[in-house]
A and B are shown apart, each in its own frame.
Chain A
Amino acid sequence: MSPLHAKLLRDLWRIKGQALAIIVVIGIGVALQVMMSGVIASLTQTRDAYYQRHQFAEVFAGLSRAPEHVASRLRAIDGVAVAQTRLRGLALIDITTRDLPINALILSLPGGAARPLNEIMLTSGRMPEAGRLDEILLLDSFAKAHGLGPGDNLRVTLNGARRQFEIVGTALSPEFIYFAAPGELVPHDARFGVIWISRPALAAALDLEGAFNEVLITLVRGARSEAVLDRVDRILDPYGAPGSYDRDEHPSNRFLNEEFKGLTASARNVPPVFMLVAAFLLYIVTSRMLQSEREEIGLMKAFGYTDAEVGGHYLQMVVLIALAGALFGSVLGVAMGRLIIPLYAGFYKLPFLLFRLDLAAFLSGLIISVGVASLGGVVVLRRIFRLTPAEAMRPPAPPDYSRAGHVAQALLERFDQPTRMVFRRIFRQPWRMLGAVAGIAAGMALSLSMLIIYDGFDEALTRTFEVIDRSDASVSFTAPEPYRVIYDLRRLPGVMRVEPVRNVPVILRKGRREFSGAITGLSTDAELFRALDADGAPIPLPARGIVLSSTLARILDAAPGDVLNVDIREGRQPEVQIVVAAISESLLGSPAFMEIDALNRALDEPGRVSGAYLSVSDGDEAAVHAALRDMPRVVGVSLRREARAAFEVIMDQGAGSARFIMGLMAFAITFGIIYNAARVARDERARDLASLRVLGFHRGETAFVLLGELAVVTLAALPIGLLVGRFMSHMIAAGFSTDLYQIPVVFAPRAQGMAIAIVVGAALASGWLVKRDIDRTDIITSLKTRE
């Protein structure tokens, strides 16, 4: 082994403590990137494979009723590969554990078709036997949420008639991965059921013998769905079809895409912040590391080693550390990915898992780490190379205290010698100290912004379910009802307040941008559900015009005063123009609000409501629920408590769940940075400390010199960390916000206090570890080696 290689390895061994800390910090940066991109790649690929293997349809159309022979006309459309018909109905499920009925979809089983579209996958039990009219399959996630399985009975109200079915199996389906019950914003496994039953049984129940009311279509490769949609609509129009749609508009797929988009956004935007902090530390540390090799570098140059040879040798050292970090990060990222991806796959109800890692994430992590380490190295080496070898071999000159130093000097004289040593060193090497301060501040900022994000999720829940929505329940009707239904509700015993609401599905357009959602009509004196501005103050709904949520305003690029084209997708489906009156703050979904009478005027349907918000006095819930389930026009009742729980599940198990692991990683990075700072100080000062011991200072006093420095650096980092953290949290909050929900940035004192506690705790732990290390080292050995 050449002496240079031996030197390299031994030097690395000597600084193993600080090197390890850097490896961990970079490793975590890279691991997060590798893991998150692996999650995205694996989930997307698994979803696509699932869709393909189970022949998820590409075009969907519902209708009131058409004779079966119409299907052959659909099959003849240019671009259609397969078209299959089925029956679909709405049902209510009675569950003993809930005093309100649950909405369900009931579908006919394909029965005999060679390769059915939207093919289900049995997860337990068996298929219903042909000819048995009372055997059903139940959606797996719904069955699990209610503890139901094969052998259990289910009471269902179908087409006004109560029936009892026997569950013979549970199943998964690519069309019901993830979707919300009608009238609900957020999916909730327990709140929406899917039942499959043999076609003859359903045909009998719905009076659809020899007919169909839904068609599923796949396209030949390369066919344009727009053209097919158009032809399908023309054929089905006479049969009461509201319009066909493709996968982009399919509720489950659309929701899943939103979630994946959210995950992708946090995978794209958050890990780079971590990587930035890791790279920043790497830069500081590598430059400091080489700075302390300055005398050796001078010596090698004195022997006639060229700049390139010397530079190559020292760069190897920092690059090896960076490489080790990147490799460790990849291994860690893959390991964590393997742990976490199945959890996501379970949450998104994917029946199998294709595990894939994203090479690009690994490579970019590698390139960034090695690049930054080299950059830090080259910058310092260039500075050292500018010195003559004689200059480099001398320790750097102490600073000139003659000018500005007087005050500092006078101040110093008031302290004892070890305290003076602490401060002198800080004045002497201000850049090194500033580097350490900046590193710790960056680490702290990262932890703080994750804590702020945690608070942001809580705040999103609080604002949505305690400030904006203050109802106990919301009721939706089968069809728009005359206003007097509100009075009916008000008369129910236990109901304290009822407010009308009119929800209308619409497509909002401005220029080339469009959004398909709904307009919520509220009364001007609404209390239970309100549109609020950014400060939480209610926005008075104007007699004309629409109030857009900030998310929607962003999607449409609309501001107050702009005119939107609104395509109403209900009733006579008019197209109207509405001016934007104000922007509201909303953290959940992308709602739009209008004054209910103004909305009804635009629809030309005065005095209609589609639902109501209720507040119920404590203790009367059961009675009110019982009354509601007997009201024929009520199609669904959703409880704020349940909606909140559903939202929490989405945040904690869906895309938002990444925040937990990221938080842990942020804390680990913070600790790594602080421990590194402590180790660097110790390695640089081993000799000084030994000299102090020789001069008769106690262990405690000696350690004080070192730990005092760490304390000063840490304290200086705290305010900077708080400041940078505020800034950083905006970047991370944007990364965690999806189209479904927004994460607000709130600077709670608690988060700031926690961040300070984390940093101080890490400093104490590092100090203790380093002190233990000092106590163990042999004075003489330290004295003989260089500083």
Chain B
Amino acid sequence: MEPTSDRGDVPAFRASGVTKIYGEGRSAVHALRGVDLEIRNGEIVVLLGASGSGKSTLLNILGGLDRATDGDVWFRDAHLTAMNDRALTRYRRDHVGFVFQFYNLMPSLTARENVELVTEIADHPMSAAEALELVGLGARVDHFPAQLSGGEQQRVAIARAVARQPDVLFCDEPTGALDSRTGRAVLRVLQDVNAKLGTTVLIITHAAATAAMAHRVIHFADGAIRKVEVNASPAHAEEIIW
């Protein structure tokens, strides 16, 4: 499969010299130490790396959830690191879908309502029922998070992210709590979204096998990129061996 790109040469993301330092003084943590990166439109990129290496931090910055301490990030022509809060909100609202590492569902909303919470402010969303059907939860739409298993909650989080049909999808360990069969089904959904809508997909994972479905694999260590592998022929999600 070729990455679908409708914007010629402008990459989806361009980052240069991105650093992130949490805290200050002696207790400061250097989570990112100068990351340079380019992600093309329509790519599926998998981010691999040890726990604590800074993957989530990078994703948060690309997704406009957090601010870099230093360096620049562009989304297409937009200079994310120079944006004010209002513009960042706009950016997240119009372009970005998230699957968080800890699911982050609203406990007081049902599965369907959790999805609707984001589709309500999206331009061309799919219906909540449709999105939940995609992740195999068609029968559980009216259940609250507390009534769902961990994996089911994770799938609701994925349905929520894809339902708004965003330009970019950030998935922080989307299959961490899933068995191999469901995990593959979920990766299928991400691959379909990528293929049909040309959505750029960034996946963080500890399951190295997932890398097989990526167009590119970025290896992360100690807050910096160590290696980038290009995958000429990404595997179909169904073929991934867990």
Contact = CB atoms under 8 A, between A and B. Distances in A.
Contact of B90 (A3, A10, A11, A304): A304
Contacts of B91: 304
A304 B121 contact: yes
A10 B114 CA distance: 13
Interface of A: 2-4, 6-7, 10-11, 14, 295-296, 299-307, 309, 385, 388-391, 393, 400, 402, 781, 784-786
Contacts of B75: none
Interface stretch (B105-113, B210-218, B229-237): B105-113
Between B86, B114, B118, the greatest number of chain A beta carbons within 10 A of the residue's beta carbon is seen for B118
Contacts of B114: 3
Nearest to B118: A303
Nearest to B150: A784
A190 B220 CA distance: 97
Contacts, number: 83
Contacts of B98: 302-303
A304 B106 contact: no
11 contacts: A3-B109, A4-B117, A6-B113, A7-B108, A302-B104, A303-B98, A306-B86, A388-B65, A393-B65, A402-B27, A786-B107
A587 B110 CA distance: 66
A307 B90 CA distance: 11
Between A303, A400, A784, the greatest number of chain B beta carbons within 10 A of the residue's beta carbon is seen for A303
B49 interface: no
Contact of A304 (B66, B96, B146): B96
B40 interface: no
A273 B111 CA distance: 47
Nearest to A305: B121
B108 A14 contact: yes
B67 interface: yes
Contact of A299 (B93, B96, B104): B104
B92 interface: yes
Contacts of A301: 89, 92
Contacts of A304: 89-94, 96, 118, 121
B121 A6 contact: no
B67 to A, nearest CB: 6
Contacts of A3: 109, 113-114, 116-117, 120
B100 to A, nearest CB: 8
Nearest to A781: B146
Contacts of B96: 304
Nearest to A303: B118
Nearest to A385: B85
A6 B146 CA distance: 16
B27 A2 contact: no
Nearest to A309: B121
Given A304-B94, A390-B60, A784-B145, A2 B120 contact: yes
Nearest to A780: B146
A390 B66 contact: yes
Given A2-B120, A304-B94, A7 B65 contact: no
A388 B66 contact: yes
Nearest to A5: B113
Contacts of B89: 301, 304-307
B180 to A, nearest CB: 24
Interface of B: 27, 60, 63, 65-67, 85-86, 89-94, 96, 98, 100, 104, 106-110, 113-114, 116-118, 120-121, 145-146
Nearest to B161: A303
B28 to A, nearest CB: 12
Contacts of A7: 106, 108-109, 113, 117
Contact of A391 (B66, B90, B107, B117): B66
Nearest 10 pairs of A and B residues by beta carbon: A304-B93, A390-B66, A3-B113, A10-B108, A304-B92, A390-B65, A784-B146, A785-B107, A390-B60, A3-B116
Contacts of A786: 107
Contact of B67 (A2, A6, A295, A388): A388
Contact of B27 (A299, A303, A309, A400): A400
Given A6-B113, A302-B92, A304-B94, A389 B108 contact: no
A405 to B, nearest CB: 13
Contacts of B94: 304
A307 B60 CA distance: 19
Given A302-B65, A303-B117, A296 B92 contact: no
Contacts of A303: 92-93, 98, 117-118, 121
A784 B148 CA distance: 9
Nearest to A388: B66
A782 to B, nearest CB: 9
Contacts of B66: 388-391
Given A3-B114, A303-B118, A388-B65, A393 B104 contact: yes
Given A4-B120, A10-B108, A303-B98, 11 more contacts: A6-B108, A7-B108, A7-B113, A295-B104, A301-B92, A302-B98, A303-B93, A303-B121, A306-B86, A390-B60, A402-B27
